[in-house]
C-alpha cells in the first residue's frame, strides 16, 4: 500500500504547519454562569467546554473522605463531535480518559484544604479533531483556576507523534489516524513534571527523548496562553 | 538573610506563581523550601509582617466569629442543622432559643426552611461549625453574592455598608457566607449598589463612587416624585 503523504519535502504538514508548531488556540474562561468555574477552548478544530463545581457536598456519601476532597473529572464526547455519530454515554475510552485526567489534576489540586467534600469537573467535547484529552485537561485546569480552587500550579497539555517517519508536535486528525505514533503529555509547567503520559504506537528511545522535548516546548506555549487568558479576566 | 519579592502590593497573581523568597507568608500560600508560591488567582496583600493572597473566587469556608445567614434544614431533638451556603453545614444547639430544651419541641422556635442570621462560635478540624445568637429573618429579601467579595461590600471598618444603610435607610445584614438580607427603604437601590461593588471589587476608590451613585439615584427618585405630585 502506498504511504499517505502527510508531510512534504520542506517539512510542511497538511495544514501548513512546521513540525514543532502548535495549532491555533483560543481560550476563554467564565463561560458557564451556574458553574463555580468554567473554560472553553478552541484548539485547531477541537472545541471543548469544561466546568468545575465545588468544593461541594459529595454524593454518593460513601465516597466522602474526612482527610481530603475527592476530585472527579468526567470526560464525555457529544454525539455530534465526530464524523460518525458517537453513541452517547460512558464507554471504555471515555472512562479511561476521565481516569487519567482525574489523576493528573489530583496531583496539583490542594485537596487537603477541603476535607469531606467533592470537586466535580465536567469536560464536554463539542467537536473533536485529535488530541482531545490534552485540550480537555488544559480546559479543566483553567476551569479549576477560575473556580478559585487552590492548586500548586496549572496543568498544560500537548500531544506529539511520529508521522511519515518524522517527529511532529500536536497531531491533527489525519496525522493521528495515519501516523505511526501518538504521545499525549501533560505537565506541571513550573517544575516541568509530567502528570500524564500515554503512548500509542512505536518510537525508538532516541526518538522518544527528542519528541519529549518537543512536546514539552509545545505544552509550555499552551501554558503561556493559559496565563494570558486568566490575567485578562481581571484587567 | 536577604528577602526577595517578585511582586508589588495588589498585583494579580496566578496559581503556581512565585511570590518571593525567604519571606513570611500566611498559611494559604505554598512553601517549598525558601520560595513562596500562590495557590490561587488573586491580589497580593503585603503587610509589614507577612504576605498573603486575596482570593477573587471560591466558596465560603466557615470561620470563627463570622456572622452568617443560614437556612434551617433539619430539626433534631436538641439542635438544628443549618445550611450556610458552604459544603460544610452548621449546627445550633436548642439552648440558643430555650432553657429547657429537653421538654419543648424545637419546631416552636425554628422550623425547616426558616432563615436565620447567626454567629459562628466554633469551627472544628473538618469545618463543622457551631452557631450561636440566632435571629430569625422573617420579611425583606435575601440576595446571594460571591462570598469572596463580602469584605469589599462591608468595607474598611464597615465604612461601605454603613454608608449604604445611611443613604438608603435599609436594614441590612451581611452574612460572611455571601448572603445579604435587605429590608425596607430603597431596597432596589441597595441591590444595584451591591451588584456594582461585586463587579468592580478589585478597583480603588469604590466607596466614593458608590456614594455618588446612590446620591444621584436618590435625587432622581425625589425629582420624579415631585413631578408626579
Q: Looking at the complex, does the CB of residue B73 fall below 8 Å from at least one CB of chain A? A: no
Q: Are residues B165 and B218 in the same domain?
A: yes
Predicted confidence (pLDDT) at residue B184 exceeds the cutoff of 90: no
Contacts of B58 in chain A (CB under 8 A): 36, 147-149
Q: What are phi and psi of B202, to 5 degrees?
A: -95, 25
Give percent above pLDDT 90 in chain B. Answer: 52
Q: Which residue among A55, A66, A227 sits closest to B14, beta carbon to beta carbon?
A: A227
Classify residue B62: in a domain, yes or no: no
- Residue B1 has what pLDDT? 47
Contacts of A231 in chain B (CB under 8 A): 12, 14
A147 — pLDDT class (breaks 50, 70, 90)? very high
Chain CA centroid to CA B27, Å = 20
Classify residue B60: in a domain, yes or no: no
Q: Looking at the complex, does the CB of residue A99 fall below 8 Å from at least one CB of chain B? A: no
Residues 113 through 132 of chain B touching chain A, CB cutoff 8 Å: 125-127
Contacts of B15 in chain A (CB under 8 A): 145, 150-154
Q: Are residues B81 and B17 in the same domain?
A: no
Whether A230 contacts A196, CB under 8 Å: no
The predicted model gives B218-227 an average pLDDT of 84
B2 — pLDDT class (breaks 50, 70, 90)? low
Classify residue B156: in a domain, yes or no: yes
Chain CA centroid to CA A219, Å = 10
Q: How far apart are CA A134 and CA A141, in angstroms?
A: 11
> Into how many domains does chain B fold?
3
Q: How far apart are CA B193 and CA B170, in angstroms?
A: 13
Long-range contacts of B165-169 (CB under 8 A, 24+ apart): B167/B211, B167/B214, B167/B215, B167/B218, B168/B193, B168/B214, B168/B218
pLDDT in tens, B90-129: 999 988 888 877 778 888 899 999 999 999 999 998 899 9
Classify residue B170: in a domain, yes or no: yes
Q: Are residues B132 and B145 in the same domain?
A: no
Give percent above pLDDT 90 in chain A. Answer: 91
Residue B106: CATH number of its domain: 2.40.50.140
More confident residue, A117 or B206: A117
Q: Are residues B84 and B131 in the same domain?
A: yes
The SS3 of residue A3 is coil
What is the predicted ipTM?
A: 0.88
Q: Which residue among B12, B15, B55 sits closest to A153, beta carbon to beta carbon?
A: B15
Q: Are residues B125 and B165 in the same domain?
A: no
Residue B49: CATH number of its domain: 2.40.50.100
Contacts of A153 in chain B (CB under 8 A): 15-16, 37
A169 — pLDDT class (breaks 50, 70, 90)? very high
Q: Which residue has the cell 476551569?
A: A143
Average pLDDT, chain A: 94
Contacts of A145 in chain B (CB under 8 A): 14-15, 40-41
pLDDT in tens, B62-80: 999 999 999 999 999 889 9
Q: What are phi and psi of A34, to 5 degrees?
A: -75, -15
User: Which of A47-56, A76-85, B180-189 is predicted least confidently?
Assistant: B180-189
Final residue before a domain boundary, out of B136, B163, B194: B136
Q: How many CB pairs under 8 A join A and B?
A: 76
- Cis omega (within 30 of 0) for bond into A13: no
Residue of B nearest to A114 (CA): B126
Q: Which residue has the cell 481530603?
A: A68
More confident residue, B27 or B151: B151
Give the range of the structural domain holding residue B195, as residue numbers without chain letter.
141-228
Go through the domains of chain A in sequence order and give each one's CATH number. 25-233 (3.30.230.70)
DSSP label at residue A42: E
Predicted confidence (pLDDT) at residue A1 exceeds the cutoff of 60: no
CA distance A108 to chain B (A): 10
Q: Looking at the complex, does the CB of residue B28 fall below 8 Å from at least one CB of chain A? A: yes
Tell me which of B87, B149, B198 to substitute to probe the interface with A (most A C-beta atoms closer than 10 Å). Answer: B87
B176 — pLDDT class (breaks 50, 70, 90)? very high
DSSP letter string over A70-125?
Answer: EEEEEEEE-TTSSSSPPPPS--HHHHHHHHHHHHHHHTTB-GGGSTT-EEEEEEEE
Length of chain A: 235
Q: Looking at the complex, does the CB of residue B191 fall below 8 Å from at least one CB of chain A? A: no
Residue of B nearest to A66 (CA): B126
Q: Which residue among B16, B58, B61 sits closest to A154, beta carbon to beta carbon?
A: B16
Amino acid at each position: 500500500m502506498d504511504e499517505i503523504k502527510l508531510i512534504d519535502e520542506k517539512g510542511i504538514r497538511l495544514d501548513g504547519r512546521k513540525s514543532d508548531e502548535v495549532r491555533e488556540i483560543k481560550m476563554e474562561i467564565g463561560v458557564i454562569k451556574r458553574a463555580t468555574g468554567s473554560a472553553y477552548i478552541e484548539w485547531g478544530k477541537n472545541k471543548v467546554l469544561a466546568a468545575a463545581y465545588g468544593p461541594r457536598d459529595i454524593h454518593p456519601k460513601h465516597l466522602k473522605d474526612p482527610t481530603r476532597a475527592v476530585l472527579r473529572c468526567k470526560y464525555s464526547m457529544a454525539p455530534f463531535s465526530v464524523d460518525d455519530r458517537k453513541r452517547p454515554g460512558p464507554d471504555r475510552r471515555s472512562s479511561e480518559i476521565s481516569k487519567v485526567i482525574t489523576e493528573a489534576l489530583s496531583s496539583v489540586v490542594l485537596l487537603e484544604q477541603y476535607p469531606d467534600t467533592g470537586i466535580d469537573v465536567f469536560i464536554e467535547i463539542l467537536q473533536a479533531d485529535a488530541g482531545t484529552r490534552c485540550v480537555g485537561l488544559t480546559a479543566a485546569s483553567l476551569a479549576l483556576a477560575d473556580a478559585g480552587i487552590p492548586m500548586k500550579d496549572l496543568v498544560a497539555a500537548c500531544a506529539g507523534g511520529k508521522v511519515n517517519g518524522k517527529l511532529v508536535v500536536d497531531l491533527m486528525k489525519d496525522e493521528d489516524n495515519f501516523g505511526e505514533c501518538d504521545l499525549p503529555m501533560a505537565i506541571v509547567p513550573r517544575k516541568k513534571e509530567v502528570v500524564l503520559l500515554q503512548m500509542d504506537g512505536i518510537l525508538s528511545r532516541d526518538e522518544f527523548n527528542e519528541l519529549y522535548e518537543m512536546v514539552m516546548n509545545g505544552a509550555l506555549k499552551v501554558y503561556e496562553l493559559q496565563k494570558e487568558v486568566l490575567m485578562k479576566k481581571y484587567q | 538573610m536577604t528577602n526577595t519579592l517578585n511582586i508589588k502590593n495588589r498585583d494579580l497573581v496566578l496559581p503556581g506563581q512565585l511570590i518571593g523568597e525567604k519571606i513570611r507568608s500566611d498559611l494559604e500560600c505554598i512553601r517549598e523550601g525558601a520560595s513562596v508560591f500562590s495557590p490561587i488567582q488573586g491580589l497580593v496583600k503585603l503587610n509589614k509582617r507577612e504576605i498573603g493572597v486575596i482570593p477573587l473566587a471560591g466558596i465560603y469556608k466557615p470561620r470563627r466569629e463570622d456572622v452568617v445567614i443560614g437556612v434551617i434544614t433539619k430539626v433534631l431533638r436538641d439542635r438544628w442543622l443549618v445550611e450556610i451556603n458552604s459544603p460544610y453545614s452548621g449546627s445550633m444547639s436548642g439552648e440558643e432559643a430555650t432553657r429547657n430544651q429537653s421538654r419543648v419541641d424545637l419546631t416552636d422556635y425554628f422550623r425547616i426552611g426558616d432563615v436565620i442570621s447567626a454567629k459562628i462560635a466554633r469551627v472544628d478540624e473538618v469545618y463543622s461549625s457551631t452557631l450561636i445568637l440566632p435571629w430569625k429573618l422573617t420579611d425583606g429579601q435575601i440576595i446571594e453574592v460571591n462570598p469572596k467579595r463580602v469584605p469589599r461590600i462591608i468595607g474598611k471598618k464597615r465604612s461601605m455598608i454603613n454608608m449604604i444603610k445611611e443613604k438608603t435607610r435599609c436594614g441590612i445584614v451581611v452574612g460572611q457566607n455571601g448572603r445579604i438580607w435587605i429590608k425596607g427603604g430603597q431596597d432596589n437601590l441597595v441591590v444595584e449598589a451591591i451588584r456594582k461593588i461585586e463587579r468592580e471589587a478589585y478597583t480603588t476608590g469604590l466607596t466614593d463612587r458608590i456614594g455618588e451613585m446612590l446620591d444621584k439615584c436618590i435625587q432622581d427618585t425625589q425629582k420624579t416624585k415631585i413631578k408626579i405630585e
